[in-house]
Amino acid sequence: MFETKIIEATDDGMKEAQNEAVNLLQNGEIVALPTETVYGLAADAFNPEAVAKIFAAKERPDFDPLIVHIATLKDLKRVAIVPEDIQETVNKLANEFWPGPLTIILPKTPEIPDLVTSGLPTVAVRQSGHPIFRAINQALGQPIAAPSANRFGRISPTSAAAVMKELEGRIPLIVDAGACNEGLESTIIRIEPREGKKPIFYIHRAGPITKEQLQKFGKIEKVKPGDKLQAPGQLESHYAPLTPFRLIEKPSDFIPEEGKTYGLLSYKGEEGGEFVRMHEWDSVVALSPGSGKLAEAAIRLFYVMREMDEMGLDEIIAEPVSETGLGVAIMDRLRRASAKHPAQQ
């Protein structure tokens, strides 16, 4: 057990936070770091003993691979072998979306431990856009393996306080840089070349980089069922609160049980909305209060799910959002959270 320390990465505390995080990572420890998506649990990606500590702290099964973060595009060759037939596409995507919330699945180099990739011949790579994560990544001089900083299957943390609730006593340090800007984990894609045509992009996980943004560079296809576990976060049940959670597609799907307390995770929370008025809810919490903006809903999703999980409700009911743009990623997370409690469906 650790005494988990939090260092605020303010102007005054930035140097201390960076130095302490780098020192711990160099010595084979794990630390929680902010990214633009969610807080990540970081280790030196080339140190299998350190990476094993990630799996232990999260109680994460070793068949679920990790994302590797590089400090600069030049570092890509240290972790991945980019096939010649997709080199141009990778360059275009990197120039457009890196640093940022896009993860690309590529053949791995021999230096990447098998534990990082769960024995797969491929590695999921991205370059974080968060200035503090990037500074620590660069100062370390090594690629960083970093899944979300929460216990396996639970709600991803978008604040240092949420990390503390999940991992206090399990890790030595949390670098606190406030709330994450995106609030949803990175988009994960795999590239399949086509001679004379745009490549095919298989989206393994929807995220802040939408299919509409990617269509400029390739054709979007659904992931084949057997390919799902080539990427992190692909288990059917994921991102779930401890409170039973159910996504309903239409109001008629909801039949309350007498004596149970229910909370509604609403998109806009409008009093006249059909989901809000269909039941006397014990609590209604909105993802985008009144305005219905998908970007705001994405940023607030995990924070709101965690807030409702602490209300002592018997069940949380979620209403759907439009599956356009960021709505695809939001619905993906809601469906995975709902899958943890099949008896409630």
Provide mean pLDDT across the span 84-103: 98
User: Does residue 59 form part of some domain?
Assistant: yes
25 plus 168 within the same structural domain: yes
Domain of 14: which CATH number? 3.90.870.10
The DSSP call for residue 318 is E
Q: pLDDT tens for residues 276-312?
A: 999 999 999 999 998 889 999 999 999 999 999 999 9
Predicted confidence (pLDDT) per residue in 242-280, tens digit: 999 999 999 999 999 999 999 999 999 987 789 999 999
CATH label of the domain that carries residue 261 = 3.40.50.11030
- 133 and 31, same domain (yes or no): yes
> Within this chain, do residues 156 and 292 fall inside the same structural domain, yes or no?
no
Q: For residue 344, what pLDDT is reported?
A: 41
**What whole-number distance in Å separates Cα of residue 227 and Cα of residue 195?**
22
What's the predicted TM-score (pTM) here? 0.92
Cβ-based neighbours of 246, under 8 Å, separated by 6 or more: 315, 316, 317, 318, 338, 341, 344, 345
Residue 12 shares a structural domain with residue 154? yes
64 in a structural domain:
yes
* Contact status, residue 38 vs residue 130, Cβ threshold 8 Å: no
pLDDT of 227 reads 67
* 3-state SS, residue 51: helix
Residues 150 and 278 in one domain: no
Q: Strand pairing of 187-192 and 200-205?
A: antiparallel
In this prediction, residue 235 carries a pLDDT of: 62
CA atoms within 13 A on the CB side of 148: 26
* Claim to verify: residue 154 and residue 265 sit in the same structural domain: no
Q: Does 64 share its domain with 170? A: yes
Confirm whether 146 is domain-assigned: yes
Structural domain count, the chain: 2
Would you place residue 318 in the very low, low, confident or very high pLDDT band (cuts 50, 70, 90)? very high
Which domain does 322 fall in, by range? 245-344
